[in-house]
Copies of this chain bind each other. A is one copy, B any other.
């Protein structure tokens, strides 16, 4: 094997990143080296690229970017048991400590000492990448490599929709960014009866219909709560999946649910947010659930099973594919918002 590879490296603590040649990394006894077949851009990669406050607080350049990936195992550490050379794999992003209260009670996805792939250690925007055995996910080889790479955000969407018990229910999804778009498909696959999507970007509103939305509105132009009233009547929706982090979407998303309903919050608001707990949560006896990560690995089993059996259609959400070296084009698309998931091919 050659010992150099190309990778996208966050080289300095400033805007941007570079495509350059670096050493192929070596693995430890509980690590796996993969040849990357497909990798995809997450919103957090864009934040690292732009060098926003969160990135400044969490990243120490130089570091290889990226965490959504699919590839082939080409080498395994001496103690690795989960996978073997030749397996087709993806990877969880959260690297749990294994020993905190959360890890000890089946909640590794919210480990108190969590490290994150591509944030606290080198990522996967490269020809080769190192995965941790605790994170590696053996993927059915029949699954398309690009879908395999976006299993990770698919897992976010699954964990956002599952608490909503959406089968036969009325659903509001606020925000149709890449994960929001996938959540539409998930809600549809899980039997939601009627899905309203709220999204300001026209490109993504159009994509929402392709992912399975029944109704799509632009919250800049129409009053979201009036749209809910028009479609679902005085009852409101049974469940809101909040995927935008926008303060108005969060507030209206909570107001839109019927008493006794459920709200999943995945989108991350930048700042603190003022809420009318008394009227919107307490008197309505609703349940608000914060969502982060993916259950390890019950969520991955669901994702893999849906893809393997072609019970979810992610094709429309993959709007762009490009060589790894063209990543700057991908970052520009992320900035404009005129995209779903963007696949980078090493």
Check A109–B309 contact: CB distance below 8 A.
Answer: no
1/0 contact string of A306-321 vs chain B (CB within 8 Å): 1011010000000000
From 215 to 244 in chain A, residues with beta carbon under 8 angstroms from any chain B beta carbon are: 234-235
The residue in chain B whose Cβ has the minimal distance to the Cβ of A301 is: B105
**A153: interface (CB < 8 Å):** no
Check A104–B297 contact: CB distance below 8 A.
Answer: yes
Looking at A8-16, A35-43, A68-76, A257-265, the stretch in contact with chain B turns out to be: A257-265
The residues of B that contact A301 with a CB separation of less than 8 Å are 101, 104-105, 168
The residues of B that contact A167 with a CB separation of less than 8 Å are 158, 162, 167, 189-191, 302
- Extra pairs beyond A191-B306, A272-B276, A285-B293 (7, CB < 8 Å): A104-B301, A193-B302, A193-B305, A265-B281, A272-B277, A273-B275, A282-B292
Check B269–A277 contact: CB distance below 8 A.
Answer: yes
**A63: interface (CB < 8 Å):** no
Could you list some 7 contacts between A and B, CB below 8 A?
Answer: A107-B285, A110-B260, A170-B305, A191-B191, A270-B278, A273-B276, A286-B289
The residues of B that contact A302 with a CB separation of less than 8 Å are 167-169, 193
1/0 contact string of A189-220 vs chain B (CB within 8 Å): 11111100000000000000000001000000
The residues of B that contact A287 with a CB separation of less than 8 Å are 287-290
A98 to chain B, nearest CB (A): 7
Check A277–B273 contact: CB distance below 8 A.
Answer: yes
A311 to chain B, nearest CB (A): 5
**A291: interface (CB < 8 Å):** yes
- A287 to B273: give the CA distance in the assembly, Å: 17
The residues of B that contact A162 with a CB separation of less than 8 Å are 167
The residues of B that contact A194 with a CB separation of less than 8 Å are 305, 309
**A250: interface (CB < 8 Å):** yes
Check A285–B110 contact: CB distance below 8 A.
Answer: yes
A254 to chain B, nearest CB (A): 10
Check B110–A98 contact: CB distance below 8 A.
Answer: no
Top 7 A-B pairs ranked by shortest CB distance?
A168-B302, A106-B106, A193-B305, A282-B290, A281-B290, A110-B259, A190-B191
A194 to chain B, nearest CB (A): 5
The residues of B that contact A311 with a CB separation of less than 8 Å are 168, 191-193
Interface residues on A, range: 35 or more
The residue in chain B whose Cβ has the minimal distance to the Cβ of A109 is: B285
The residues of B that contact A106 with a CB separation of less than 8 Å are 106, 295, 298
**A81: interface (CB < 8 Å):** yes
Check B112–A98 contact: CB distance below 8 A.
Answer: no
Check A191–B193 contact: CB distance below 8 A.
Answer: no
Question: Of residues A99, A105, A107, which shows the largest number of chain B Cβ atoms within 10 Å of its Cβ?
Answer: A105
A279 to chain B, nearest CB (A): 9
**A102: interface (CB < 8 Å):** yes
The residue in chain B whose Cβ has the minimal distance to the Cβ of A108 is: B106
The residues of B that contact A192 with a CB separation of less than 8 Å are 311
Check B191–A259 contact: CB distance below 8 A.
Answer: no
Check A250–B268 contact: CB distance below 8 A.
Answer: no
Check B102–A303 contact: CB distance below 8 A.
Answer: no
Check A259–B305 contact: CB distance below 8 A.
Answer: no
- A302 to B169: give the CA distance in the assembly, Å: 6
